[in-house]
Amino acid sequence: MRTETRWTRFALATWLCCLFTMQANAERPNGNSIEFQGQSWKGSPPVQLDAIYHQGQNSLRVRTNGADSIATVEGVQFQTGTIEMDVSAPQRSHPTLALFVDESGMNYDRITLNPWPQFNDQLPRRLRQGVVTTGVHQSVVVNFNHGNSVDWARERWFHVRLEVDEGICRIYIDDDARPAFLFATSDQAKSGGGVGIVSSSVFIRNLKICPLKQQAAKTPFGNSVSTRSIAGQIQ
């Protein structure tokens, strides 16, 4: 009799566990889409999206483990304006933003933020600041002194603001008056596109996307000036 009672309890507990799991999956299928702070995020496997409490703040954890895995904010067609957010990167990850993402999710400009001392050659801190253009899009690495190793180990929050106007993107860190980096946007930026996180693990919050009323203009420096020479103004 006791054996039957124990078996009945075990079966009931198993059934309830399966029921709760099914309900959770129905609310957030596969962890690839989520609503956070009034915005809808969507990714494809192996992207994982979770709303959690991190470093004392309600946060969206984005884990994009593949080389080109990407999570984007739905309904965004960004071309010129400002993008800002609070960022915290776990396990010495380098947060990487995706801008001007096309409908296929394959073409975009990527901006990798490297919050280590700028001239440290020791791995994994060795990321060379600059712009690499491949086809219609480009990869940008921004180095800035985020603080000492203690700050980084504690996954300190920092604020990033991007200002895109007249073919130039300026990147500001925290409350600095001077941009940490600037570069000429790629051809991909002319038609605009989505905004998201690509190939990195990161916590974000307070994402604000404010497009300008006017459309993006041609770079004021002329077509003869390369993105590499413009970016070289701030290094």
pLDDT at 67: 73
The pTM assigned to this predicted structure is 0.73
Residues 6+ apart with CB under 8 A from 186: 100, 109, 133, 136, 137, 138, 227
Structure token pair of residue 222: 């002329």
22 contacts 15 by C-beta, under 8 angstroms = no
168 contacts 184 by C-beta, under 8 angstroms = yes
**What span, in angstroms and rounded, lies between the C-alpha atoms of 51 and 35?**
9
205 contacts 85 by C-beta, under 8 angstroms = yes
pLDDT at 135: 66
**pLDDT (tens digit per residue) in 68-123:** 789 999 999 999 999 999 999 876 788 999 999 998 888 899 999 887 655 555 55
198 phi/psi in degrees, rounded to 5: -130, 140
Q: What residue spans of 55-172 are helical by DSSP H?
A: 149-153
Coil, helix or strand at residue 31:
helix
Residue ranges of the chain whose pLDDT lies below 70: 1-31, 91, 116-127, 135-136, 146-154, 213-235
Peptide bond into 115 cis (omega under 30): no
pLDDT at 150: 58
**What span, in angstroms and rounded, lies between the C-alpha atoms of 44 and 64?**
9
pLDDT at 44: 79
67 phi/psi in degrees, rounded to 5: -60, -35
